[in-house]
Copies of this chain bind each other. A is one copy, B any other.
Amino acid sequence: MSEVENPPFEDLVNGALEFTIPIAHKMGVRAVEVRRGFAATSVPAEGNGNHFGVMYAGVLFTVAEILGGAITVATFDNAAFYPLVKDLHVFFRKPAKTDVRAEATLSEADIARITEEAAANGKSEFTLRAVVTDADGVVVAETEGLYQLRAHGK
């Protein structure tokens, strides 16, 4: 069998989002770059504003929260485990008036610990910090989310 290159993880996430989280897809949330230990997402200003002309808080929450799922797809064994968000703290730093981009990183040390704990116990918790920036690179929001990687059927 010839070696086949897998599609990039961002294509997998984007292909699935309409069916996995329709409301996020309706907002226009997209995965921009997804690889082991890293994910970046974006969402347009269009349709996501409030009456002050800035992006609604719930959209900023969503573009950042989705990173937990996206990074899991590219980093852990999806046949065995799925991610859950347990709590998330979002800090609104500046009004967002443009499309925004969110990104988060999981260190190799964290990945090793989570992989080991999940294999041993069927679950493992991890904290993901995300930064959301506007088109000028200004930080508009930051999040700290507590996620759990959990074995299917547990």
Q: Which residues of A contact B (CB under 8 A)?
A: 16, 19-24, 26-27, 47-52, 56-59, 61-62, 65, 82, 84-92
Contacts and interface: CB of A to CB of B under 8 A. Distances in A.
Tell me whether chain A's interface is mostly helix, strand or loop, or mixed.
mixed
B91 A90 contact: no
3 nearest A-B residue pairs (beta carbon): A58-B62, A20-B51, A89-B89
A22 B47 CA distance: 7
A98 to B, nearest CB: 16
A58 B92 contact: no
Given A16-B51, A21-B58, 19 more contacts: A19-B51, A20-B50, A20-B51, A21-B50, A22-B47, A23-B27, A23-B47, A23-B48, A23-B56, A57-B62, A57-B88, A58-B61, A61-B62, A85-B92, A86-B91, A86-B92, A87-B90, A88-B89, A89-B90
Copies in the complex: 2
